[in-house]
Chain A
Amino acid sequence: MSSHAAVTSGPPEAHHWDPQTAYSGAKLGMWLFLATEILLFGVLFTCFALYRWAFPAEFHEASGHLKISAGAINTAVLIFSSYLVALGVGAAQRGDNEKVKKMTLISVVCGLLFLVIKSYEYFGKFSEGLFPATHGADWVLYFPALVLGVFLLIAAALTAFAFAAFHYHEYSKFYKYLGGAIVVMVLFPFLVSPLADLLSSIIGSVATLPEHTHYAWRGDGLTQSYKMYFGLYYAMTGLHALHVILGMGILFWVYLLARRNRFSSEYFTPMEIGGLYWHLVDLIWIYLFPLLYLID
């Protein structure tokens, strides 16, 4: 960063006052956050693939309950809004606040439309009796997912530390955290089964577990694994819907900034990093749609 040389006096944090540094810092921060989001959804994808492998017939039948048309329309809605947001970023860079207002507002409406279609789908499934989990026994099936989540948090934290160290040019720390993250990711497949068993035996010693005290990827035939599909379906699409809601909030904030004519060729950071977040929401759905709706 050449701008570092520009600020040579003042307190150590003085270089943060430089607008170019603030801009690239904010953008890198958003990319760092998006990196952790990729890992978060990536673990859910892996989890889904594992259970699909274990119960091909049941997952085939369960995924038949989803309407491809609803998923396809939602894909189109998100892709279109992503396009609008990309135009909005360009407009903000030119200081065209009017266009930013238009693009962000229509994108928020697109997000709303997505949620309406999604809730229509959810309520359709509810009326068929397909809930995330219906019987007390089902939550035992979630132990491996719980272990997965803990591993993810550790790996995500190590990744964040590695990024931070890299950003501050502390390369020995960077390698340490990077190595740690890789070790965690490599070890975890071999630990997830024993740890899930350990968890169920610990909980089993203080509470009465249902018949299948082994966490058991096997379930008891069709019905359990059927619910596993919908458990994962609700977890993945629900988490994604939360991201849509958050993204709508961010875009509406950008809209309010544009209403106050805040954007110019000198300052457009909120539109750009808000746009990055919205694109990620689109990107995750690009993978969710074929995985949940199309593959059997």
Chain B
Amino acid sequence: MAHDTHDDGIYLKILVALGVLTVITVLASSKAGFADFGTWSLAVAMIIASVKAGLVAVHFMHLKTERLDTWIYVIFPVVLLVLMMAGVFIDNPFRTGTGQPDPGVEVAAVEKHDNHGHH
């Protein structure tokens, strides 16, 4: 059986990289207080998480040496997920009439308004 012997040295580098990225993601969160990206903190955290996930998938899970059909198995659900999330996040801001409060509108105010509507 032909297969690749994977280099143990690269695993150690990946481990260190994952550790460093974990420290960065903690420091970059507004809760730790070292750097506050405000409204972008979600995006920053998700980008760092995706880099970490990519390192794990490509190196630890050997995607690097996998054939095309395995890559399709990986990319397909990710594409589906992006489609679904895009649909949800595009649709969500227009949902004010069906229970979702307007961004910026007080939850209590929406409640009150609805209660008046029912009585």
A-side residues, CB < 8 A to B, are: 19-20, 23, 27-28, 31-32, 34-36, 38-39, 42-43, 45-46, 49-50, 53-55, 64, 68, 72, 75-76, 79-80, 82-83, 85-87, 89-90, 93-94, 155, 159, 162-163, 166-167, 181-182, 185-186, 188-190, 193-194, 197, 214-221, 225, 265-266, 275-276, 279, 282-283, 286-287, 289-291, 293-296
Please provide the 6 A-B residue pairs with the shortest distance between their CB atoms, ordered closest to farther: A294-B29, A290-B45, A189-B87, A42-B81, A35-B77, A83-B15
Q: What secondary structure prevails in chain B residues at the interface with A? A: helix
B residues bordering A, Cβ < 8 Å? 1, 3, 5-6, 8, 11-12, 14-15, 18-19, 22, 25-26, 29-32, 41-42, 45-46, 48-49, 52-53, 56-57, 59-62, 69-70, 72-74, 76-78, 80-81, 83-85, 87-92, 95, 98-101, 103, 107-108, 110-111, 114
Distance to closest chain B CB from A178 (angstroms): 8
Closest chain A residue, CB of each to CB of B71: A31
With A28-B70, A53-B92, A90-B6 already in contact, the answer to whether A79 and B53 are too (CB < 8 A) is no
Query: In angstroms, how far is the closest chain B Cβ from the Cβ of A235?
Result: 18
> Are A290 and B49 closer than 8 Å at their CB atoms?
yes
Nearest CB in chain A to that of B15: its residue: A83
Known contacts A79-B18, A82-B56; decide if A38 and B81 are in contact (CB<8 Å): yes
Q: Could you tell me if A283 and B98 are in contact, using CB atoms closer than 8 angstroms?
A: no
CA distance A207 to B53 in the complex (A): 45
User: Would B60 and A20 count as touching, CB distance under 8 A?
Assistant: no
* Chain B nearest Cβ from A89, distance in angstroms: 7
From DSSP, what is the main secondary structure of chain A's interface residues?
helix
Instruction: Enumerate chain B residues within 8 angstroms of A218, measured Cβ to Cβ.
Output: 99-101, 107, 110-111, 114
Q: How far is the CB of B49 from chain A (nearest CB, A)?
A: 5
B94 to chain A, nearest CB (A): 10
In the complex the two chains form, what is the Cα distance from A55 to B108 in whole Å? 11
Given contacts A39-B81, A75-B22, A279-B56, contact A54 B1 (CB under 8 A): no
Distance in Å: Cβ of B41 to nearest Cβ of chain A: 6
B-side contacts of A282, CB under 8 Å: 56, 60
Whole-angstrom CA separation of A19 from B1 in the bound complex: 8
Residue in chain B with minimal CB distance to A72 = B26
Contacts of B61 in A (CB 8 A): 275-276, 279
Is the CB–CB distance between A86 and B59 below 8 Å? yes
Among candidates A34, A86, A185, A286, residue contacting B49 with C-beta atoms closer than 8 Å: A286
Contacts A54-B101, A75-B22 given; indicate if A42 touches B95 (C-beta within 8 A).
no
> Which B residues are in CB contact (< 8 Å) with A215?
99
For A66, give the chain B residue with the smallest CB separation.
Answer: B31
What are 12 sample pairs from A and B whose C-beta atoms fall under 8 A apart?
Answer: A20-B1, A42-B77, A79-B15, A79-B19, A185-B87, A186-B83, A189-B84, A215-B99, A217-B99, A221-B108, A283-B57, A296-B31
